[in-house]
Amino acid sequence: MMTKRIITIILTLCVTSLSAQTSDWGVRAGFEAEKKLNKKWEVGLGGEYRWKDGMSLTDQVRGSLVAGYKPWKFLKIGAGYELIADKKKKKDIFIYRHRFKIDATGIHKFRRFTASWRPRLQITAYDEDEVDEDEPDNYRWVLRNRLGLNYNIPKTPLKPYIQIEIYNRVFSNPDYYKNRFSTGLEYTITKNHEIDLGYKRDSENTNGEKSYFDVLAVKYKYSF
């Protein structure tokens, strides 16, 4: 009964979001490889290809390196670097940005639920002559707060989840400019292989104007 209620809530949120007015939608396909060095340390690398205008145009190609440290079961500290190649339609070239991030994730488990809170500070560096600093994705200092909840369905490899993330600029006024709603299913194929199928909706507030971007995302994860 609990499982049916959770799935119903997720589907209702998806339908509600999709029924609202949108400005664009896209698809994202990614992979992640994670290596546990010991009980506390892990490293990983990943990549992602992003399409916009449905799947008619390339949006971005991303590659990342991350490291994580878990001093206690309820806390994980992470740091990473991401190279972003952004396709500009007018110039038909890729513009590159470098993003550095540091975060901490608090985790609390109760029954079959897992709640999490992840504040993240990200810094983006780029060539000022090539990149428009007024575009939200180019803000240099950004604080992101993400709340998440997932549920381990009994006797199945499925974990439905819901996440809400708020984006704030640092050293800017007004600071709030974006929020993201995410929902999906994590499917554990084997101990080392996992697939994440999800839906995301970005809601941006830029210069008093609201815009929306819907995303269908798939990510493959390999742990060893």
pLDDT score, position 35: 97
In terms of residue numbers, what domain contains 185?
2-223
State the average pLDDT for the chain: 89
pLDDT score, position 84: 96
Tokens of 89: 């339609």
Mean pLDDT along residues 107-123? 97
Q: How far is CA 45 from the centre of its chain?
A: 15
CATH classification of the domain holding 156: 2.40.160.40
* Residue among 84, 103, 200, 186 at smallest CA distance from 145: 103
pLDDT digit string (tens) for 50-99? 999 988 899 999 999 999 999 999 999 999 999 999 987 667 789 999 99
Higher-pLDDT residue of 109, 207: 109
pLDDT score, position 18: 46
pLDDT score, position 23: 63
pLDDT digit string (tens) for 155-189? 999 999 999 999 999 988 778 999 999 999 999 99
How far is residue 39's CA from residue 16's CA, in Å, rounded to a whole number? 41
How open is the CA angle 111-182-187, to the nearest 5 degrees?
60
Number of domains in the chain: 1
pLDDT score, position 147: 98
pLDDT score, position 89: 67
pLDDT digit string (tens) for 13-22? 554 544 444 4
Tokens of 106: 């608090």
Q: How far is CA 93 from the centre of its chain?
A: 25
